[in-house]
Chain A
Amino acid sequence: MSSTNTEANAEGCAGPSISDYCDAAAETVEKFDRFNELLNTNAPIALTPKRCVWSLNKAKLYRYTPVVPEDQLKPVPLLLVFAIMNRPYVLDLRPGHSYVEYMLRHGYDVYLLDWGIPGPEDKDMKFDDYALEYLPRVVRKLKSITGAEEFSMLGWCLGALISTLYAALRPNDGLKNLILLTAPLDFEDKSVGGFVKWVSDPKFNADRIAETFGNVPGEMIDAGAKMLKPVENYFGTYIGLWERLDDPGSTQAWHAMNTWVRDIIPMAGAAYRQLINEFYKENRLMEGTAVIRGEKVDLSKLRAAVLNVIAEADHITPPCQSERIMDKIGGDDHTVLRVRGGHIGIMAGRGAEKNTWPHIDEWLAARST
């Protein structure tokens, strides 16, 4: 308590003194500074040691430095494939809370495919290129480095769509285990709301968007994703941050996630057009009419063991978009894991280490021998 306050109280004045008001104002200014810093700076993220082992155009393949002795590494390497319109380091968000770190500790040889940021010269890249030009080359390199004939692949969001296309079209490439995370594959139900409803409207013209921009700006995709839950994304998150400013653990997590959210990248125009027209509007993958580089995608040819991880509160990929694939794929080792949480939260949220990662590890460990 300041001397002014003591004097005031000695004079018998009740209530806060001017000094108290000044202290409160200074505290609020300090809080604003901290708030502003968290909003506009980047947190230290993606710090797990790794090295680039392959690159082609903007794509890079990283190998994370194993943390267990070589002889204790699981013999089946794990390849992580993330979406094409966000940065993949959400899988290695921050030290102490990183899926990559977790899997390394559990003895996996972890590889991450970063698709990179498409430039104007990549505007004609389609899912055909991602699934049948880049991914087979990545797999070849991975097999050549590890000497393994089999590998596991984890695809998240559009990375799961690319992984599924690859797995169905190249079933003999050695893919042993396929983990699909919040995979947008089935767009039959247009009434579920969100993206599928918006883009299925006849007035939504994906061709014109791609023609106009070349690559679809990240800001546009980001705004679309945020508009699915506008109040939460434009107001709620900031109010929540303000109220938790005194909790370092919570603000650290928020800062890391905000750093990832702010790092938006464009999406190759042709891939966007294909995603909207062929997958979202015509549901070609599930209808069995998808053709990739002249090859018909037959899901029954996908023979790898499949773990399908569905986020129950996912508003970007509602559960119904990931469920029906299990009836269409071949092979006989299929598992569905339902996790409480949202599209990103199930893997990068605070509960992921308890609710998601151990289940994936348990399933994969039994099949990585």
Chain B
Amino acid sequence: MSDKATFDPFDPTGMMKSMRDKGMEAWAKAMTEMVGTDAYSEATGQMLDTWLKTSAPFRDMTQKLISQTLAEVNLPSREDVTRLAERFTNLEMRLDDLDAKFDECLKLLRERVGAE
């Protein structure tokens, strides 16, 4: 958005572009300053919090309804799948621990063979 064009009275397009670039530059500066003010921080923090607070009952209701419906039709809920995924991660960690022990054994074995 820098003003690359030099002033040329016979080039109206270039002049318009230069004006646009200057306008954008000023706008960008003003907006960056605006989002850096205390008032902006306070307003966005307040708006976000109010939205989250007021929408919470509806979200809870929807979640409850979905969970009940899934239970009625014998389908696992998100919580069920999440619990399963957590167990998989724990299993993976155990496997990684075993892999570490296996690597250590291999290293010791190589060292012993090398020493002999």
- Judging by beta carbons under 8 Å apart, are B48 and A209 in contact? yes
- Judging by beta carbons under 8 Å apart, are A229 and B49 in contact? no
For the complex, is B32 an interface residue (Cβ under 8 Å from A)?
Answer: yes
- Judging by beta carbons under 8 Å apart, are B52 and A212 in contact? yes
Kindly list chain B residues whose C-beta atoms are within 8 Å of the C-beta of A230. Answer: 28, 31-32, 35
- Judging by beta carbons under 8 Å apart, are A198 and B28 in contact? no
Q: How many chain B residues have a CB neighbour from A under 8 Å?
A: 36
- Judging by beta carbons under 8 Å apart, are B56 and A212 in contact? yes
Q: How far is the CA of A201 from the CA of B38 in the complex (A)?
A: 8
Chain B 41-52 against A: per-residue CB contact (8 Å), 1 yes, 0 no?
110111011001
Partner of A235, one of B24, B52, B53, B93: B24
Give the interface centre of A193, A203, A209 by most chain B CB atoms within 10 Å: A203
- Judging by beta carbons under 8 Å apart, are A208 and B28 in contact? no
Chain A 127-143 against B: per-residue CB contact (8 Å), 1 yes, 0 no?
00000010001001100
Partner of B82, one of A120, A194, A232, A235: A120
Chain A facing B: main interface SS: helix
Kindly list chain B residues whose C-beta atoms are within 8 Å of the C-beta of A140. Answer: 100, 103
Measured CB to CB, the closest approach of chain A to B40, in angstroms, equals 8
Chain B 22-36 against A: per-residue CB contact (8 Å), 1 yes, 0 no?
001001100110011
8 contacts between A and B (CB under 8 A): A57-B89, A57-B92, A121-B86, A137-B100, A201-B42, A201-B45, A212-B55, A231-B31
Given contacts A120-B81, A231-B31, A236-B24, 18 further A-B contacts (CB under 8 A): A57-B89, A120-B85, A140-B103, A194-B36, A197-B36, A205-B45, A205-B48, A205-B49, A208-B53, A209-B48, A212-B56, A228-B35, A229-B28, A229-B32, A230-B31, A230-B32, A231-B24, A232-B28
